[in-house]
Amino acid sequence: MNSRTSPHSASPRMSLRLPARRPLPALAAALLGALMALVPGSASACPGPGRVTGDISVHDPSMVRLDDGRYILYPTHNGPQARVSTDRVHFTHAGAAFPSPPSWWGRYSPERSPWAPDVSRQGGRYWLYYSLSTFGSSHSAIGVATSPSGLPGTWTDHGPVYATTTGSDHNAIDPNLFVDDDGKWWMTFGSWWTGIKTIRLDPSTGKQHPGDRTLYSVAARNPTSNGIEGPTLVKRGGHYYLFTSFDKCCAGTDSTYSIRVGRSTSPTGPFRDRSGRDMRDNGGTVVLETHGRVVGPGGQSVMSDVDGDLLVYHYYDRDNNGSPTLGINLMRWEGGWPVVY
């Protein structure tokens, strides 16, 4: 990922600085607040998102820094429609990744509208993974495209990577590409049903590895009627961290999404939360949850930038009629666990 800063952009660190909080009226309340802030997953420990403006009504955002220093973000639906920013604060609409949607999309999405794209730069070019489905169905597919620049209109589609049917016990949506230190490519994906899965990919094609067809189960809810989706896998230090979105999306201020995490010493698990609970059995330490005007944060991705790691996500703005809204927080690692600020 390119780490150059545009000479005309504001400092990303400064742009995400949060306003100072007013002092609490009583010493007892202040002490209580301080204690609650030390409790992992407590609502009072969740900061507000950094300042973003412009065209920021999105779901499931994935962001990367381009070679020219700009940021490009691809969210769910309609192309998908890109947003571009020079300063990580103001985002403008930049057009559809695919002005003419590939015909094969229609087999899985009548609207030919991809969900939850994942954009990254690998091996000198940009890779875009995306999913096609309809609500409540496991007749789904994940596709892949490449681009020399990452910009809308420059993507070449390479067709399906992995698909599921109505008879499958898992769902081929919400892909995330991860490349390990040995150069092995992995794709983590999944939603509801029996949870989050991981497969190995072939770096030469970006598709499922022909010599390794293993399907790893890495996270699940029990009962399966409880939601889990939107995985993101990263490595920091000696651990692999699996971020997921728990519970219900896409219901405005009735959404119950929260972002949770577990870690492992292997990209294929087992992943355990801070208490030691396996993520295949409801484990997951809260990273971000509903607080204040921020309702149902989820659909997250993680991006490394010049000033640190970023948690990029959507939430529903209680103060703006429940509008889906882009959220960006800096994220540090304390005691081996991610903490947003």
Find out whether 280 and 217 touch, Cβ atoms under 8 Å: yes
Peptide bond into 223 cis (omega under 30): yes
| Tokens linked to 18 | 């949060």
User: In 3D, which of 168, 174, 310 has the Cα closest to residue 231?
Assistant: 174
Q: Within 10 Å of residue 252's Cβ, how many Cβ atoms?
A: 14
In sequence order, what are the residues at sequence separation of 6 or more whose Cβ sits closer than 8 angstroms to the Cβ of residue 73?
58, 61, 62, 63, 82, 83, 84, 85, 91, 312, 326
55, 60, 87, 273: the catalytic one is 60
* Enclosing H/E stretch for 36: helix 27-37
Amino acid (one-letter) located at 232: T
| Residue 143: C-alpha distances to residues 21, 130, 171, 227, 291 (Å) | 45, 5, 14, 23, 35
| Tokens linked to 288 | 């971000």
Longest dimension (CA), the chain: 64
Find out whether 229 and 173 touch, Cβ atoms under 8 Å: yes
- 289 a catalytic residue: no
What DSSP state is assigned to residue 13? H
55, 87, 118, 229: the catalytic one is 229
- Active centre residues (catalytic): 60, 229
